[in-house]
Amino acid sequence: MGLRYAGARVISAASTWGLKHLFHRPAANFPGKVALYVDPQVIGDARGKLERGSVVVVGTNGKTTVTNLLADVLECAGMSVVCNRTGANLDSGIATSLLHAGHADWGVFESDELWLAKVLPQLQADYVVLLNLFRDQLDRCGEIDRIQDSIVGALASSPKSVLVYNADDPLCAYIAEQAAQAVGREHTPSIAFGVSASMGLAQNTVTDATMCQRCSTMFTYDFRQYGQLGEYICPSCGFSRPALEFAAENVELASDHVAFEVVRPSENNAGISLSAPFNGAYMVYNLLAVAVGAELLGCSGKAIQQAIDAFNPQNGRLETFDIAGRTVLLNLAKNPTGFNQNLKIVAQDDQPKVVAFFINDKEADGRDVSWLWDIDFEELADSGRMQVFAGGIRGKDMQVRLKYADIHADVVESAEDLLARMQKLPTSHNAYVIANYTSLPLVKAALEAAAADTSTAESAVELAASASDPSAAAGTVEPAAGGVEEPTDNPVVIAHLFPDLLNLYGDGGNVRVLEQRLRWRGIPVEVVRVQHGDTIDLAQVDLVMMGGSPDREQRLASADVVAMRDDLKDYVENDGPLLAICGSYQMLGHEWLLDGQTVEGLGLIDMTTRRPGTSADRLTNNIALSSPLAAHPVVGYENHAGRTYLGEGVEPFGQVTSSVGCGNNEQTHADGVRYKNLIGTYLHGPLLAKNPEIADHLLTEALKRHTRRSGIKHEPLAPLDDAAELSANAAMAAKLGA
Ligand code: GLN
C-alpha cells in the first residue's frame, strides 16, 4: 500500500467519524474529497477491494434507480456490493463509498456524465452502462456534444471497459461508434440494448437530437418512444439503431405496473419475464438496463425479479407516502424529458387531484429554468380537475409557465405550506409532488415528517368528513380568459420557423405566449409550425418567431433560412414583426463563424458573428437589459459561444444592466438588435414569458400587419393581468441587481 493511499485512508476515516459523531451529518462526499486531496489516485488504489470488478452507470435520467437496483440484484444473488446508493456521483462520492467499504465482490457506482472522465481512468470498470442523454443543465455542460466527447474520452482511458448502452438513443449509439474509433478498433467493446417495438406513447413537442451526428441529416424514425429514443435511420449515411443484443419485448404499460420480457434476439432462449409495480415508460428502460447489467454479471432472472419486488425507493424517486389518509407520490424531475414522463403518470389519474411542482435554480439544478417551457404542461390541462401549487426558489416562474398552459397555480412558500393547504382538501384526492434536484430533499423531509405525524391524520379525517363539496376546492384549471373564439377565415397568423431544429431553452414558449395573449383577448390566432424542409408564404403571415439552437442544428437550419432570404427581406422591410433568438439572431447578419468555418447569413442586418474560442467558451448567465421597448427591465438567459458585432449605426435591442451577462460580446455590453419591427436577441427564457411588454409590442405590430393584409380593423390591445409575469420579472431583476 502506497504512503499516499495510507494517508488518504486515515484522513477519510477521521473525517467520517467527525461528521457522524460531532456534526451528525451524513458522510457521503467529504471523506472522499479529503482523501482525493491527499491521494488523487485513491479510487484506483482502493479498487483492489473489489474482488470481481465494477460497473459504472451514467446517463441523464435514471442513474440512481438503476444503480441501486443493480446492487440489490447482486445482493439477492448472494454477492457483496459497494455502491454509492445516495446518488453522490462525483469522484468524491465514489471514493467515499470505496473507502468506507471492506472487500466486496462488485462495485456498482453511478457517475455524473462529465465526471466519468475523472472516475473511469482510475476505476477501469468492467462495464459502463450508458442509459440516455437528454438536455439537462446546459448552463453547466454547454451543448450535448461536449458531454458525448467527454464520455468518449473517458472510455478511451479504460479500453477494457465494455460499454453497455441504450441503442434506442442515437446519442448513446454515436458514443459507442466514437469510442470504438478512439481506441482504434473496428468493433466497439459494446453491448446494445433497447425496446424492440413501439410502446405507443403520445409524442411530446420538444425533443433533443433527431439529427444524425455522423452526417448532420435529420433521421427518419420507424417509431419513436419518447425524446429522441426509438428506431431511427439516417436516410443519407445509413447510421441506424444498432442490432439489439438485449431487447425488451411484449411491453405492457399499465397505470400500476410495467411488464416485459428481456430476450437476446440472437439466441433462442426463452428470455426473462419481469414485472414491476411502477408506472411510466422510462421504467421499462431503467429495468431493462438493470436486467442487462445483472445478466452480464451472472445473476439469474429470479434474483432480478426478487430485487424488483423488494425495491422500495426511499430517495424521492417514485416514493409514496401516506399522509393523513392521502396517497402522495413524490418524484424527481430535472429536465424536460423526465418531466414529460412524470406528467404522463399524473395525467393517467383522471380523478380530482392535487399537483405540486417545486423548482430550484441552485448550482446543481442549473441556474436557468427556461427548460420549463420545453415541457408539455398543456397535456395536464386536459386531465381533469386538480388543485395546483408551485414552489421552490423559482416557484413564480413555474406559476407563469402553468398560466400559459391555462392552469392556475398558487405559489407556496415551502413544502410545509403545501401540506397545510393540502389538509383542507379531501383526502380522496391523490397528490403528486414533482421536485427538481435540490428542492427534492427538503420536500421529501417535509413529506416524511407529515407521514410520521398521526395528529395530522386525525384532523384531516375530520376535515375531509366535513368537506361538503369535494369539487369546490378543486377545478382550478382555467378556461381561456378571453372572449369566445369564433371560427374565422382570417386569424392572425404566427409562423414558428423550424421548431424541429431551432428550439433551445424553451424558445418555443415565445410562440405559446404570443398565441395565448391573443386568445385571452378574444383575437383569433393560428400558429403555423414550419418544419425543416417545408416552406411558407410569408405574405400570409403576421408575426415570425425563430429560436436558438445547438451548432449542428443551427448549421442545418441556416440552409432553410437562407433559402427564404428574399421573402424574409421583403417581410422585414414591409414592417413585418420578427423575433429571432440567439442562433437565429446570429443568422440575421452577413455571416457567422463556426469552428473556423464561415457560414453565410441572411444579410438582413449589418452585423457579423464570430467565435473566438471553441463551443466550450460560452457566455452563460441570467441577464437583464434596459430596452426602449420596455419600461421594466428585460430579463432572460444567455448561453452562446458566438459573439456578435453590430455595424455602425445599428441599434441594439437593449443595454446590459445586470452585473453579470454580456449580450452581444464582452466589449459593448449591448444585446441584440432592433430594426423596423425586427428584434434579434441572445435572451432565452423564453424572452416573452417574463417580459410581457415586449410580447405586446410584437403583437401590436402583428395586428397592424393583419389589418393591412386582411382589411380587418383591430382595437388597441386590451390590457391583461400580468401580475404573475411581472412578479417573476421583478424577482429575477432583483436577483440580478437590475
Ligand atoms: N450555437 C450558437 C452558439 O453557441 C447558438 C446557441 C444558442 O442558440 N443558444 O453561439
Per-residue pLDDT of 52-62, as tens digits, reads 999 999 999 99
Q: Rounded mean pLDDT of 230-241?
A: 97
Task: Tell me the pLDDT tens digit for each residue of 538-554.
Answer: 999 999 999 999 888 99
At residue 535 the predicted structure's pLDDT band, cuts being 50, 70 and 90, is very high
Task: Tell me the pLDDT tens digit for each residue of 60-91.
Answer: 999 999 999 999 999 999 999 999 998 888 88
Which pLDDT value is given to residue 480? 42
Q: How many CB atoms lie within 10 A of CB 460?
A: 22
Cell numbers standing for residue 118:
475523472
Q: Of all atoms in ligand 1, which is nearest to the CA of residue 611?
A: 10
At residue 36 the predicted structure's pLDDT band, cuts being 50, 70 and 90, is confident
Which pLDDT value is given to residue 23? 66
Which pLDDT value is given to residue 186? 58
Which residues are CB-neighbours of 403 under 8 A, at least 6 positions away? 409, 478, 724, 725
Give me the percent of the chain exceeding a pLDDT of 90.
Answer: 74
Q: Rounded mean pLDDT of 2-25?
A: 75
- Would you say residue 596 has pLDDT above 80? no
- Would you say residue 21 has pLDDT above 90? no
Distance CA 422, CA 324 (A): 10
Q: How many CB atoms lie within 10 A of CB 198?
A: 14
For 424-481, the DSSP string reads: TS-TTSEEEEEE-TTTHHHHHHHHHHHHH-HHHHHHHHHHHHH-S-TTTS---BPPPS
Measuring from atom 2 of ligand 1, which residue has the nearest CA? 583
For 503-536, the DSSP string reads: --TTTTHHHHHHHHHHHTTT--EEEEEE-TT---
Ligand 1 centroid–CA 148 distance in Å is: 18
- Would you say residue 468 has pLDDT above 80? no
Which pLDDT value is given to residue 279? 84
271 compared with 197, residue with greater pLDDT: 197
Amino acid identity for residue 142 in this structure: G
Give residue for cell 423526465: 338
Ligand 1 centroid–CA 650 distance in Å is: 21
At residue 612 the predicted structure's pLDDT band, cuts being 50, 70 and 90, is confident
Which pLDDT value is given to residue 478? 42
- Would you say residue 469 has pLDDT above 60? no
Which pLDDT value is given to residue 450? 96
Q: Rounded mean pLDDT of 231-255?
A: 96
- Average pLDDT of the chain is 90
**What residue ranges line ligand 1, CB within 6 angstroms?**
504, 548-551, 554, 582-583, 639-642
258 compared with 456, residue with greater pLDDT: 258
Measuring from atom 5 of ligand 1, which residue has the nearest CA? 583
Task: Tell me the pLDDT tens digit for each residue of 347-375.
Answer: 989 999 999 999 999 988 989 999 999 99
Active site residue 582: yes
Which pLDDT value is given to residue 4? 83
Q: Rounded mean pLDDT of 195-216?
A: 86
- Would you say residue 658 has pLDDT above 90? yes
Fold of 319-472: Protein-Tyrosine Phosphatase; Chain A (3.90.190)
CATH 3.40.50.880 describes domain 492-736: yes
614 compared with 117, residue with greater pLDDT: 117
Q: Of all atoms in ligand 1, which is nearest to the CA of residue 547?
A: 8
Which pLDDT value is given to residue 14? 77
Q: Of all atoms in ligand 1, which is nearest to the CA of residue 615?
A: 4
Q: Which of 5-9, 474-478, 590-594, 678-682 has the lowest mean pLDDT?
A: 474-478
Q: Which of 116-130, 177-191, 546-560, 655-669 has the lowest mean pLDDT?
A: 177-191
- Would you say residue 476 has pLDDT above 80? no
- Would you say residue 314 has pLDDT above 80? no
Task: Tell me the pLDDT tens digit for each residue of 250-275.
Answer: 999 998 899 999 999 888 777 899 99
Distance CA 118, CA 43 (A): 10
Active site residue 83: no
Is 0.75 topped by the overall pTM?
A: yes
Cell numbers standing for residue 414:
415551502
The one catalytic residue among 532, 632, 640, 684: 684
Q: What are the extents of the domains in the chain?
A: 41-194+281-310, 319-472, 492-736
Fold of 41-194+281-310: UDP-N-acetylmuramoyl-L-alanine:D-glutamate ligase (3.40.1190)
Q: Rounded mean pLDDT of 440-466?
A: 74
Which pLDDT value is given to residue 382? 84
Which pLDDT value is given to residue 174? 96
Task: Tell me the pLDDT tens digit for each residue of 423-451.
Answer: 999 999 999 999 999 999 999 999 999 99
